[in-house]
Structure 1
């Protein structure tokens, strides 16, 4: 379901992505505001603090659990209908979690709330990619990322405020209100791209996914997305325990510690927007991963010099986030455009891969953290980044070469 009338950037055309990013911000805040409140929540339900990272991993697993459905549905019935229905479902889940009575019920609702992540990535992102020219789509994605980064920047601070002065329940009420406002904006401004006249039967659903995942070039490019995002995702999930329990920071200090780290991600996206028109698409990925690796190594130096653990963490993770910022939107575009299958299905396949990698990574590091503490996170991040320098990097170079050859043929 490709939109053949891709638009250029302008105030009118930006209203849809701005409405979408408000919902994306709500889905991110649903994690970033709640994570610092997870220690009091575990106390509220009378369970061990080691349950705290599971609130994030179940949230991500929920996104993976429904991605297979939302993307293909949007191919058949239209992006807008599916997106609006998904936003309403997420809003309801944020309200129902207020009446949960134990940790198991809480995690079930976190799983259901995870559908919001898939609505953004499998339906919303596909609509953005179809609505703009290629480089404009990269800029829009980078702009959306910068706005959504208000979540990890402000979420921990607001979460700390909730812990100290009110109750974690109000966080979900605030998130539900944001989601509802987004619904009205999407209803008013999201373009209606009609699905194909000849719809495939839903029985073809798994066959389409099989074709997508059978494409080794697509898989090699798509795996780069969780590789570029996972180090920071692990940080978000494990940092409340690491900074507060292990390193003795207060809730407010924990929130303030995140500001320069996610400021690096914002700066990276700004740099991407400035340079994306100057260089062949993909160059920023080739620069981003080495910067991330350097940052992860610097952060790990805190294991060697304990007296400088916090400065090394701050500098290293800021570099990791900067490297992610100049790479992630281009990584998404390369993977998304590498398959000729229906784009809702492609975006859903990417979302499933991402969420499963995030869930698996967080749960593995959570278990390792109970034995090896900070070293588990830092060494895992280095290993994840190093994986990119193998087959994903080769796939990127192949993709860049194919793009260059296609452009040369068009100019000839």
Structure 2
């Protein structure tokens, strides 16, 4: 029986997204909680501290490894069985940390644990979008984003607190317990939103679907707009520890405090979006958020010239507020710009964005190494211009542009 999208939020309707975001939170915090304990891991395994950042790299590698398969698979056999299998896999791989005896085995486990994130993007987000009507889905995604944003803020502190009283392996046991609670909740609350498959799974059919999505110019414009919009934030996340602690010689506490304007404004933007989503057409909300985002990146570049990283953080705060306003609606319209199964579309969206982010963060790192903080921030300007133009093309706002079919 085909699921009928929900158009009003009530406590029963919220149980499914709450369980989904609890699982999402457990996957994200699995990266952040172990960061304070990585030196303990390398010391126990008699390995060099150079392996410390490799833990994050391997985890993210796992997070990019299965999306191409899981989306199309969930289109054909259903979202529920694929999603629940992913939760069980993640719980087991976290528990496997109890038997790790070498740094090599530990890093293999990190890849296998990271695979748990694939189920969120390729299956979970698609199910959320299908379970709720457009405006309601945007509100739900905005609320979910706020919970996920807590992981990089509280993860390291929580991990340090756990390791103050227990070995580092207990961090993964705690994460496994959190994910298991989410899995039980999903078992009882997650609806089957995928339409019944008309054909059995085959790699030939999957390839045909992927090609159809990639040839959809409007969809690809939406993916480009989302990617361009988020890259300044990711560049800041990746480079700000070096800029603040190494470049400015400030302590880690100061580094943490200067994350608050950026992430706090992003959370505020999501809250405002959830509040006004039913009052204004989503196109107007995206337009307003996009305008604030564009002004924010220009302001971040300008203030860096006079005030260094502090000015950049203030400008990025305004940018983040605009990102919070625009991102959920833009994601929704992009996902529904293609008629292909939403699991496949979500997988393509995630894969293209992840590749764009990986390249973009490295480019920004190279700019910082070659030219310093000021030019690092100046690179936001062409990014903002490209975002505005791409958004206008996607939304059919360019003068003389032929009217596109509704998403």
Gaps of 5+ in 2: none
Name 2:68's counterpart in structure 1.
Answer: 68
Could you report, residue by residue, the CA deviation over 1:371-411 in whole angstroms, capped at 9, with x for unpaired residues? 44434643444443332122342112369x9999879xxxx
- Residue 259 of structure 2 aligns to a residue in which SS? helix
Name 2:116's counterpart in structure 1.
Answer: 116
Task: Find the aligned partners of 2:106 and 2:364 in 1 and give their Cα distance.
Answer: 22
Could you report, residue by residue, the CA deviation over 1:69-100 in whole angstroms, capped at 9, with x for unpaired residues? 11111111111110111122223333445636
Structural mapping, 1:31-180, within 5 Å: 31-34=31-34, 45-48=47-50, 52=53, 55-96=55-96, 99=100, 101-102=102-103, 107-158=107-158, 169-180=169-180
Could you report, residue by residue, the CA deviation over 1:34-74 in whole angstroms, capped at 9, with x for unpaired residues? 5566688788842449x73x654544443332111111111
Contact kept in structure 2, 1:30 and 1:175, CA below 8 Å: yes
Contact kept in structure 1, 2:2 and 2:194, CA below 8 Å: no
The answer to whether the aligner puts 1:257 opposite 2:258 as a matched pair is yes
Could you report, residue by residue, the CA deviation over 1:330-386 in whole angstroms, capped at 9, with x for unpaired residues? 111010111111111111111111221222223333444444443464344444333
Task: Find the aligned partners of 1:168 and 1:41 in 2 and give their Cα distance.
Answer: 7
Structural mapping, 1:258-407, within 5 Å: 258-301=259-302, 303-305=304-306, 308-375=307-374, 377-397=376-396
- Residue 389 of structure 1 aligns to a residue in which SS? helix
Higher relative contact order (CA 8 A, sep 6+): 1
Contact kept in structure 1, 2:308 and 2:373, CA below 8 Å: no
Q: Note closer, same or farther for the CA distance 1:331–1:150 as it changes in structure 2 (3 Å cut).
A: same
Q: Note closer, same or farther for the CA distance 1:375–1:57 as it changes in structure 2 (3 Å cut).
A: farther
Name 1:410's counterpart in structure 2.
Answer: none
Name 2:198's counterpart in structure 1.
Answer: 198
Task: Find the aligned partners of 2:301 and 2:397 in 1 and give their Cα distance.
Answer: 32
1:24 offset after TM fit, Å?
Answer: 1.2
Contact kept in structure 1, 2:219 and 2:337, CA below 8 Å: yes
1:197 offset after TM fit, Å?
Answer: 5.2
Gaps of 5+ in 1: 408-412
Task: Find the aligned partners of 1:150 and 1:202 in 2 and give their Cα distance.
Answer: 39
Task: Find the aligned partners of 1:261 and 1:173 in 2 and give their Cα distance.
Answer: 31
Q: Give the root-mean-square deviation of aligned CA atoms.
A: 3.3
Contact kept in structure 1, 2:163 and 2:171, CA below 8 Å: no
Name 1:26's counterpart in structure 2.
Answer: 26
Task: Find the aligned partners of 1:59 and 1:34 in 2 and give their Cα distance.
Answer: 11
Task: Find the aligned partners of 2:357 and 2:191 in 1 and give their Cα distance.
Answer: 31
1:150 offset after TM fit, Å?
Answer: 1.7
Could you report, residue by residue, the CA deviation over 1:301-355 in whole angstroms, capped at 9, with x for unpaired residues? 46423xx334313312221221110011011101011111111111111111122
Contact kept in structure 2, 1:142 and 1:329, CA below 8 Å: yes
Contact kept in structure 2, 1:60 and 1:358, CA below 8 Å: no
Task: Find the aligned partners of 2:299 and 2:232 in 1 and give their Cα distance.
Answer: 14
Task: Find the aligned partners of 1:172 and 1:373 in 2 and give their Cα distance.
Answer: 38
Name 1:13's counterpart in structure 2.
Answer: 13
Structural mapping, 1:221-236, within 5 Å: 221-236=222-237
Name 2:241's counterpart in structure 1.
Answer: 240
Contact kept in structure 1, 2:73 and 2:201, CA below 8 Å: no
Could you report, residue by residue, the CA deviation over 1:198-226 in whole angstroms, capped at 9, with x for unpaired residues? 33432311111011111111110122222
Q: Note closer, same or farther for the CA distance 1:284–1:109 as it changes in structure 2 (3 Å cut).
A: farther
1:172 offset after TM fit, Å?
Answer: 3.5
Q: Note closer, same or farther for the CA distance 1:340–1:397 as it changes in structure 2 (3 Å cut).
A: same
Instruction: Single out whichever of 166-175 and 25-34 deviates more from structure 2.
Output: 166-175
Task: Find the aligned partners of 2:299 and 2:41 in 1 and give their Cα distance.
Answer: 33
- Residue 199 of structure 1 aligns to a residue in which SS? coil
Task: Find the aligned partners of 2:356 and 2:404 in 1 and give their Cα distance.
Answer: 31
Task: Find the aligned partners of 2:380 and 2:163 in 1 and give their Cα distance.
Answer: 29
1:227 offset after TM fit, Å?
Answer: 1.9
Task: Find the aligned partners of 2:264 and 2:81 in 1 and give their Cα distance.
Answer: 35
Q: Note closer, same or farther for the CA distance 1:405–1:299 as it changes in structure 2 (3 Å cut).
A: closer
